[in-house]
Amino acid sequence: MIKKKILILVEPIYLEDHSDPAENTYLWAYKVKIKNNSKEKVKLVSRHWKIFDSNGNHKEVKGKGVVGEQPIIQPGDEFEYTSGTPLKTSSGMMHGSYQMQDFKGRMFEVMIPPFSLDIPDNEKKLKEFNPKALAAAQLLFKAYNSSVQDWFNSVTQGPNPKMTKAEAISYIIRDKQKNTNFNKGERALAALTAVYLNSTPKILF
C-alpha cells in the first residue's frame, strides 16, 4: 500500500527566546519531513494534529494542507516544512495524521508518529506529567502488549540499530497494533509510553 511507503519524520525545537515560564507559556517549533518512498506521486490534502500538555489537556488542529500549501510529492522526493505550537506546561506530546491523495484520486491516511515536546536536558519533564495520566498510559501499554518494549529495544538499540525511534513508533502504531480494539489515540499513547519506558524507566516506575 502507498501509505506504508510514506515516511514522516519530525524534529521538535524548544523556542526558549519566545517562551515565558513565569507566565506558563512555552513555545515549540517542529520541523516535518515527508518522504515519498512509493512509485506514485501523492498530494497532501489536509492535516489533523492532537496536542497534549503534561496536565492532560489537549487540543486538536485540523486544516487544509500545511503552511498554506497542498504539496504534490513526486516518487522518491520529500517535502519539508516548519510550524509551531504553544503549551502551558514545560512538556507535552503531539501526534496526528495527514490525509493524502494518490494519482488516481483515491484518499488515504498517513499517521504522524507521536513525539514529545520537552525542554532539552530537563529532567523534570516526566515528573511534571499528571500522575494519573501517566499511570493510565503505563497501564494501557502493559495491557496492550508487554512485548512491545522488548521489540522496541531490539530494533532501536545496539551498534547497528535497524530503525530510528520515530520509525519504530510508526511501525508500532500502523502495524503491530492494527489488529487491536484500541483507537488511534490510544495506540499513539501506548507507543509513546514505549519510548518513555525505554529511555527513563527509573522515573516512570
Walk me through the domains of the chain, giving residue ranges and CATH numbers.
1-118 (2.60.40.1470), 130-200 (no CATH)
Residue at grid coordinates 504553544: 86
SS3 call for 69: strand
* pTM higher than 0.75: no
The residue among 60, 28, 64 whose CA lies nearest residue 45 is 64
Average pLDDT over residues 166-181: 60
What's the mean pLDDT when you consider all of the chain? 78
Q: Point out the least confidently predicted range of 23-27, 63-67, 136-140, 167-171.
A: 136-140
The residue among 122, 95, 91, 65 whose CA lies nearest residue 185 is 95
* Residue 132, pLDDT score: 54
Q: Mind listing the pLDDT tens digit for each residue in 118-130?
A: 887 544 444 444 5
Orientation angle between helical segments 131-144 and 147-156, nearest 10 degrees: 90
* Residue 118, pLDDT score: 83
